[in-house]
Amino acid sequence: MDPARKRKIRLVVALAAAVFLAAALIYTSFSASTEASKPSQLEPGRSYEVTGKVVKGSITRDGDELRFRIRDRDGQESVPVSYTGLVPDPFRDGREVIVSGELKQGTLVAERDSLVTKCPSKFTKDKQSS
Amino acid sequence: MAGVGSACLVIGLLTALYAAGASLYGARSGRREWVASGRRAVYCLAALLVTAFAILEAAFLRSDFSYALVAEGSSTDTPGFYKVTAVWATQDGSLLLWSTLLALFSSAVLFLTRRSLREIAPYATAVLGAVAAFFLLLMVAWENPFDTLAVPPPEGAGLNPLLRHPAMMIHPPMLYTGYVGFSIPFAFAIGALITRRTGADWIRATRRFALVAWTFLGTGIMLGALWSYTELGWGGYWGWDPVENASLMPWLVGTAFLHSIMVQEKRGMLKVWNVSLICGTFALALLGTFLVRSGILESIHAFGASTIGVQFLVFISLVVALSAGLILLRLPDLRSRARLDSLLSREAFFLLNNLVLVGLCLVILWGTFFPLISEALTGKEASVGPPWFNRLTTPLALALVLLAGIGPVLTWRRVTAQSLLRVLRAPVLVTAVAVAALLAFTDAGQSVPSLAMFSFVAFVLSVVAQEFWRGATARRVMTGESWPRALARLTGRNRRRYGGYLTHAGIAVLFLGVAASSAFLEQRDVRLSPGDTIQVGAYTVTYREATAKLGGDDAGTGAPISLGAVLDVRKGDERFTLRPSRNYYSSNDPSLGAISRFFEGEATSEVDVRWGLRRDMWLAVRPDLASLEGPIREADRRFSDSPGDVQALVIAALAERYQNRPPPAAFRAIVSPLVAWIWIGGAIAVLGALVAAWPSPEARLRRVRSLYAARVGRELSRA
């Protein structure tokens, strides 16, 4: 095979591999993603990553289960959450949290260990447990 | 003194601009004295910034709350070590650290190259001056670390408790040193492009800086992982958090750069690729600095909340656009003379390793910015989680480790199949035996990706061992040295090569730990009362008793209250005790009661780990304060106006109550196999990089000789 033709084949193979990888990247990321949402926007039967504030005085514990309500960052509408698993350190009344789960009979049933607390300080070099 | 600090920054800004301007003018007009003046301006800048940094550091040590920054990020009850390091836990202080390190590194490289690279160095000075000017402008105009408060508060807010961990305090300077270090080869690459001197000179002059930067960045990433493992209380070392990813990306591209410059040095190829890689590394380093500050990814709508996000974006875009434009403009000068002779050659495999590393970086970049991409394309805010990252990065990591084994045994230009077979025979045999043993004696077969990783790790280690053995044998035949001496001499005389092998071995060991601990981890989350027993893996864990400590937590972080647990762990004859605890830091929130503010502030897990080469036993506790809530409310009512010592007694009584009548506490117990090898592997990799970066005596001798020869030549021509 002459060198020029060989180079061309190599280029085509490399480009095809790159296109394939890019397509895989795009496809898997869109199909594996969870949608971010506010407590007031939830609909049953889909999984969401809900961002909101913990309603003051709503945190109760029932055995391993942690129950609390979260509300929109700038609203009053709230939804009850049932959560099991690790509770991150800065979890408190009024803090902004992210939790993943599905709406079942009016309650957000959270995935285990999905609770993330946003740090209230301005310069958050630290990350919370994920 | 704050005025002096501010003045240092303003004069520093002018000095940096002068350095850039003078060296550009000198290079354009050919007037060497202007170039020299620009270089000295950089030394001067370093002196100014070191002074400013020292002033700020002194203010933190004195707890001078008239500095807004000190009031924000420190307090009198912050322990001394953390006062020193609290400087870079603040946004403004970390910018000052960044620029100080940049000025120091720039001075070092300009001093070392003052008699060489006469064409490139002035432009590199200009680039470094411009970068320093950007950071100084940020501080002078928006984030002045020397802002003062008219009315200093009596007490500062204190250092964020999560950051009160030794690893976390060394981690930021390590990362910054890495980021800053990569700006040196970047500046010289730009200089080389402008002057069309696209040979390997700029690479030789800055290679060591790139390697040192790589080492520091890598160490910083490892320390961040260690902090996550021991401080965050979730038991993992890597969570694909945007901030973690931000530091990993420049490291990956920098790794690619360190490999591909060897191809340019040896074969004069991949010039476009090398300049692109170093520009990419620098842009990603800036992106890393920016991501930490902007908060753009944690909450997209908070964009602009940080005062300097936009400025950073503009600067990064400028860097990318200018370097891309310059590379395109110089494409004709970057054409290489040589061509790839064979796909079975070291350069071809280096290129392949580069593609994998850059691919890995692109995957992480895509995933990290996916929330923005998704919102731009679909209007919906969505994100990808750790499972997605794991799925896409696993095959690439496997390929990387395999290539780390094959690369070293290939020769430049081409390898014949016969010679390849000869060098690969022993390592492949060792790998096969290792896999057979794993399948026969362990349950490693349950996870295919892990088994693949184990076998590739065995392959890399045996290749590296074979290389050392072959080299040392050759030395022994020639010199009759003893084994240890032959190995030491071999490494000492060929530092780059054998240091590189050590790093490969270290990375392989690291991945051994990652593969084992991610696939074979056993974890339990339970609520236990004293006396309860659970089984985690092969361990029997019994909650013996609750503990309560006031003002003297085990980790020395200055926590007023520390509630914990003592657990007895047993596995066969092995018995030990673990004492995890949780530190409570008082809150300054005035809406809280006088007593409850001690319990309602920040709290951090102080996990306890039984470290082991075979497996770690990791334990975290979360005391349940529900039973104390009533008494705390009551105390709030009755003791809100009491003097401090009475309140301290009340808190002591509450802590004692917790210890004597402990409610069930939540525990997380993890048995994680081989996780210690992540840290050991990382340390080996760093050691290898240090060996490779250490100047060899021969090179120093050569440099001295050439300087001497130059002087003799000058004097002869004068005579």
- Tell me how far apart the alpha carbons of residues B629 and B713 are, in angstroms, rounded to a whole number: 85
Q: Which of B224, B24, B202, B235 has the alpha carbon at shortest distance from B125? A: B24
Which CATH number belongs to the domain containing residue A45 in this structure? Answer: 2.40.50.140
pLDDT for the residue numbered B580: 94
Mean pLDDT of A13-24: 88
pLDDT for residue B301 = 34
Closest of B508, B505, B414, B417 to residue B467, by C-alpha = B505
Q: Does A90 touch chain B (CB under 8 A)?
A: yes
CB atoms closer than 10 angstroms to residue B643: 8
Say yes or no: A70 and A113 in one domain.
yes
Helix (H, G, I), strand (E, B) or coil at B546: strand
Q: Which of B309, B356, B343, B519 is nearest to B414 (CA)?
A: B343
Label residue A129 by pLDDT band (50, 70, 90).
Answer: very low
Position B683 scores a pLDDT of 97
Average pLDDT over residues B127-154: 93
A4 plus A45 within the same structural domain? no
Backbone φ and ψ for B618, nearest 5 degrees, come out as -115, 130
Count other C-beta atoms under 10 Å from residue B523's C-beta. Answer: 16
Asked if A113 has any chain B CB less than 8 Å from its own CB, the reply is yes
**φ, ψ for residue B717 (rounded to 5)?**
-70, -30
B105 pLDDT more than 90: yes
Q: Tell me: pLDDT of A90 over 70.
A: no
In terms of Cα–Cα distance, which of B277, B276, B301, B289 is closest to B243? Answer: B289
C-alpha distances in angstroms, B313 versus B247, B306, B317, B319, B502?
17, 12, 6, 10, 38
Q: Angle at Cα B290 formed by Cα B288 and Cα B291, nearest 5°?
A: 70
Residue B708 forms part of a structural domain: no
Q: Are residues B431 and B381 in the same domain?
A: no
Q: Are A15 and A70 in a shared domain?
A: no
CA distance A119 to A97: 9
A123 within domain boundaries: no
Contact status of A77 with chain B (Cβ, < 8 Å): no
Q: Are residues A11 and A52 in the same domain?
A: no
Same domain, A102 and A49: yes
Question: pLDDT grade, residue B299 (50/70/90)?
Answer: very low
Handedness of CA A43, A44, A49, A53 (dihedral sign): positive
Asked, for residue A60, whether it belongs to a domain, the answer is yes
Which residues are registered as beta bridge partners of B167? none
Q: What tokens appear for B466 in the block?
A: 């074979």
CA B628 – CA B99 distance, rounded (Å): 48
- Please report whether residue B698 resides in a domain: no
Above 70 in pLDDT, residue B378?
yes
Q: Which is more confident, B624 or B544?
A: B544
To probe the interface with A, which of B388, B396, B586 has the most A CB atoms within 10 Å? B388
The amino acid at A105? Q
pLDDT above 70 covers a percentage of chain B that reads 97
What are the structure tokens assigned to A107, written together?
A: 């309650």
Q: Identify the pLDDT of residue A89.
A: 64
Are residues A43 and A16 part of one domain?
no
Report the alpha-carbon angle B335-B339-B341, nearest 5: 170
How much is the average pLDDT of B318-323? 96
Interface mutation target, options B92, B244, B368, B383, chain A, most CBs of A under 10 Å: B383
Query: Does the residue B674 lie in any domain?
Result: no
Q: What are the tokens at B394?
A: 């696993």
* Residue A119 confidence class, pLDDT cut points 50, 70, 90: low
Mean pLDDT of A27-44: 82
Q: Which amino acid is at B433?
A: V
Of A71-80, B139-148, B397-406, the poorest mean pLDDT is in A71-80
Mean model confidence pLDDT for chain B: 89
Whether residues B366 and A126 touch (CB distance < 8 A) is answered with no
Mean predicted confidence (pLDDT) in B271-292: 92
Judged by CB atoms within 8 Å, which residues 29-48 of B form the interface with A?
none
- Asked if residue B113 and residue B189 are part of one domain, the reply reads no
In this complex, is the C-beta atom of A51 within 8 Å of any C-beta atom belonging to chain B?
Answer: yes
Report strand pairing: A96-104 vs A116-117.
antiparallel
Nearest Cα residue to A71 out of A102, A41, A35: A41
Q: Are residues B480 and B490 in the same domain?
A: yes
The count of structural domains within chain B is 4
Average pLDDT over residues B291-316: 66
Residue A63: list chain B partners with CB under 8 A: 527
Tell me the C-alpha distance between B356 and B346, whole Å: 15
Domain termination site, one of B410, B426, B441: B410
pLDDT of residue B295: 60
Contact B17, B134 (CB under 8 A): no
Question: What pLDDT score was predicted for residue B34?
Answer: 95
Higher pLDDT, B712 or B579: B579
pLDDT band at B493; cut points 50, 70, 90:
confident
Asked whether the predicted pLDDT for residue B14 surpasses 90, the reply is yes
Does B716 fall in a domain? no
H-helix segments, chain A: 3-32
Chain B residue closest to A18 (CA)? B359
One domain, residues A40 and A28 = no
Measured between alpha carbons, how far is residue B416 from residues B238, B269, B342, B412, B520 in Å? 41, 21, 10, 11, 41
Residue B385 contacts A where some CB pair is shorter than 8 Å: yes
Q: Closest Cα to residue B364, out of B382, B384, B389, B399?
A: B389
Distance of residue B67 Cα from the nearest chain A Cα, in angstroms = 17
**pLDDT of amino acid B543:** 95
A35 touches chain B (CB under 8 A): yes
Q: Please report the pLDDT score of residue B54 as a whole number.
A: 96
> CA dist B216 to B171, B187, B257, Å?
9, 19, 16
Map tokens 């999905």 to a residue. Answer: A114
Which residue of B lies nearest to A29 if distances are taken between CA atoms?
B384
In three-state secondary structure terms, A36 is: strand
Confidence of residue B588 (pLDDT cuts 50, 70, 90): confident
Q: What is the pLDDT of residues B463-482, one digit of tens each?
A: 999 999 999 999 999 888 88
Residues B571-578 have a mean pLDDT of 92
Q: How far apart are CA B522 and CA B5, in angstroms?
A: 52
- Give me the phi and psi of A128, to 5 degrees please: -90, 165
Question: Quick one: B426 and B464 in the same domain?
Answer: yes
Per-residue pLDDT for A128 more than 50? no
Of A85, A87, A125, the CB nearest to B89: A125
What pLDDT, on a 0 to 100 scale, did the predictor assign at position A125? 35
pLDDT in tens, B630-681: 888 888 888 888 888 888 888 889 999 999 989 888 899 999 999 999 999 9
Strand A96-104 vs strand A34-37: parallel, antiparallel, or unpaired? unpaired
Q: Let me know if residue B703 belongs to a domain.
A: no
pLDDT digits (tens, 9 = 90+) for B21-41: 999 999 999 999 999 999 999
Give ∠ CA B234-B240-B245 in degrees, rounded to 5.
Answer: 130
Among candidates B356, B193, B146, which has minimal Cα distance to B259? B356
Cα distance between residue B402 and residue B556, in whole Å:
43
B191 shares a domain with B176: yes
Say whether both A103 and A41 belong to one domain. Answer: yes
Tell me the C-alpha distance between B407 and B352, whole Å.
10
Statement: residue B303 has pLDDT above 50: no
Number of other CB atoms surrounding residue A14 within 10 Å: 12
More confident residue, B590 or B441: B441
Q: Which residue has the higher pLDDT, B235 or B43?
A: B43
Q: Which of B72, B68, B75 is nearest to B89 (CA)?
A: B72
Secondary structure element (H or E) that encloses residue B274, with its range: helix B271-294
The verdict on A18 and A55 lying in the same domain is no
Could you tell me the CA-to-CA distances from A20 to A27, B325, B424 in Å, in that order? 10, 28, 31
**Claim to verify: residue B194 and residue B211 sit in the same structural domain:** yes
What's the CA gap between B370 and B453, in Å, rounded? 28
Asked if the model's pLDDT at residue B619 lies above 90, the reply is yes
Return the pLDDT at B377.
86
A126 CB near a chain B CB, below 8 Å?
A: yes
> Does the pLDDT value for residue B407 go beyond 60?
yes
Sole residue written with tokens 């002459």: A2
Range of the domain at A45: 35-117
Nearest by CB to A86, which of B295, B366, B668?
B668
Q: Indicate the residue of A88, A89, A118 with minimum beta-carbon distance to B298.
A: A118
Q: Are residue B405 and residue B433 in the same domain, yes or no?
A: no
Supply B47's token pair: 């002196």
**In degrees, to the nearest 5, what angle opens at C-alpha A32 toward C-alphas A26 and A36?**
105
The pLDDT of A81-102, averaged and rounded, is 81
Identify the pLDDT of residue B699.
66
Statement: residue B182 has pLDDT above 90: yes
Same domain as B132, residue B45? yes
Percent of chain B beyond pLDDT 90? 56
Q: Does residue B473 share a domain with residue B388?
A: no
B72: helix, strand or coil: helix
Domain boundary pick from B131, B163, B195 = B163
Of the candidates B208, B381, B183, the one whose C-alpha atom is nearest the C-alpha of residue B288 is B183
Count of CA atoms in the C-beta half-sphere (13 A) of B180: 27
Interface test with A, best of B143, B358, B381, B600 (most A CBs within 10 A): B381
B717: helix, strand or coil: helix
Q: Can you tell me whether residue B549 is helix, strand or coil? A: strand
- The DSSP output letter for B568 is E
Q: Please check the confidence at residue B505 and state whether its pLDDT lies above 90.
A: yes
What average pLDDT score do residues B238-261 get?
92
Q: What is the DSSP letter of B596?
A: G
For the cut 70, the answer to whether the pLDDT of residue B698 exceeds it is: no
Where a domain ends, among B358, B390, B410?
B410
| Torsion angles phi and psi, residue B200, rounded to 5 | -95, 10
Q: What SS3 class is residue B669?
A: strand
If asked whether residues A23 and A53 sit together in one domain, one would say no
- Is residue B300 predicted with pLDDT exceeding 60? no
Contact (CB<8Å) A118/B363: no
3-state helix, strand, coil in chain B (%, to 5): 70, 10, 25
Do B603 and A88 count as a contact with CB atoms less than 8 A apart? Answer: no
* B272 in the same domain as B374: yes
Q: Are residues A14 and A72 in the same domain?
A: no
Tell me, yes or no, whether B427 and B405 share the same domain: no
- CB–CB of A89 and B392 under 8 A? no
**SS3 state at B304:** coil
Mutual angle of helices B166-194 and B242-267, in 10-degree steps: 40
Mutation pick from B299, B336, B375 vs chain A, by most beta carbons of A within 10 Å, is B299
Tens digit of each residue's pLDDT (9 = 90 or more) over B676-685? 999 999 999 9
Q: How many CB pairs under 8 A join A and B?
A: 111
Q: Is residue B205 part of a domain?
A: yes
Reported as a pLDDT band with limits 50, 70 and 90, residue B576 is very high
In a domain, B700, yes or no: no
The residues facing A53 across adjacent strands are: A71, A96
Is position A73 within any domain?
yes
Is the pLDDT score of B584 beyond 70? Answer: yes
Mean pLDDT of B93-103: 93
Are B465 and B373 part of one and the same domain?
no
pLDDT of residue B621: 92
For the record, the structure tokens of B149 come out as: 């408060």
Q: Which amino acid is at B540?
A: T
DSSP single-letter state for residue B392? H
The answer as to whether A127 is a domain residue is: no
Q: Does A63 touch chain B (CB under 8 A)?
A: yes
| List of chain A residues whose C-beta atoms are within 8 Å of the C-beta of residue B71 | none
Domain span including residue B593 = 530-663
Tally of structural domains, chain A:
2
Answer whether residue B107 is part of any domain: yes
